[in-house]
Amino acid sequence: MDDPGAFWRRPTGGFGSVAGHTQCQVASSSAPGCGLPQEADTVTSSPLPRILRRRGEPAYPTFLELFFDLVYIFLFSRLAVELAHDLTVRGAAQAAVLLLAAWWVWVLTAWLTDLFNPRLPIIQATVLLVMFGTLLMAIATPYAFADHGWLFVAAYFGIHLVRDAVLIPGTRVNPPIQARSIRVFFWFGVTAVPWVAGAFADGTTRLALWSLAAAIDLGSARLGWPTPRLGRTELASQIFTGAHLSERHREIFIIALGELILSIGIGLAGSGFEPGPVAASAVAFASAVLLFQLYFQRARQILADPGVMVVERVRPGTSTSYSHLVMTAGVVAVSASISLVIERPSGSASGALVAVVLGGPALFLVGSCLFDAVLTGRVLWSRALGVVALCALAPAATLLPPLGVLVAANLVLLLILVGGALAAGSRLVRVAPAG
Question: What amino acid is encoded at 136 in this protein?
Answer: L
Q: What is the pLDDT of residue 45?
A: 56
List beta partners, residue 311: 22
Q: What is the pLDDT of residue 28?
A: 30
Q: What is the pLDDT of residue 330?
A: 96
- Residue 318 contacts residue 235 (beta carbons within 8 Å): no
- Residue 80 contacts residue 336 (beta carbons within 8 Å): yes
The stretches in the chain having pLDDT less than 50 are 1-42, 236-241, 305-316, 428-435
Q: What is the pLDDT of residue 47?
A: 66
Q: What is the pLDDT of residue 151?
A: 92
Please give the Cα distance from 348 to 333 (Å, whole number).
Answer: 20
- Residue 323 contacts residue 107 (beta carbons within 8 Å): no
The b-or-e profile of 348-373 (16+ CB within 10 A means b, else e) is ebeebbbbbbbbbbbbbbbbbbbbbb
| Residue-range domain boundaries for the chain | 88-233, 242-424
Sequence-distant (≥ 6) Cβ neighbours of residue 58 within 8 angstroms: none
How far apart, in Å, are the Cα atoms of 9 and each of 26, 155, 314? Answer: 6, 35, 14
Question: How many of the other CB atoms lie within 10 Å of CB of 45?
Answer: 10
pLDDT in tens, 27-58: 233 333 333 344 444 455 566 667 777 766 66
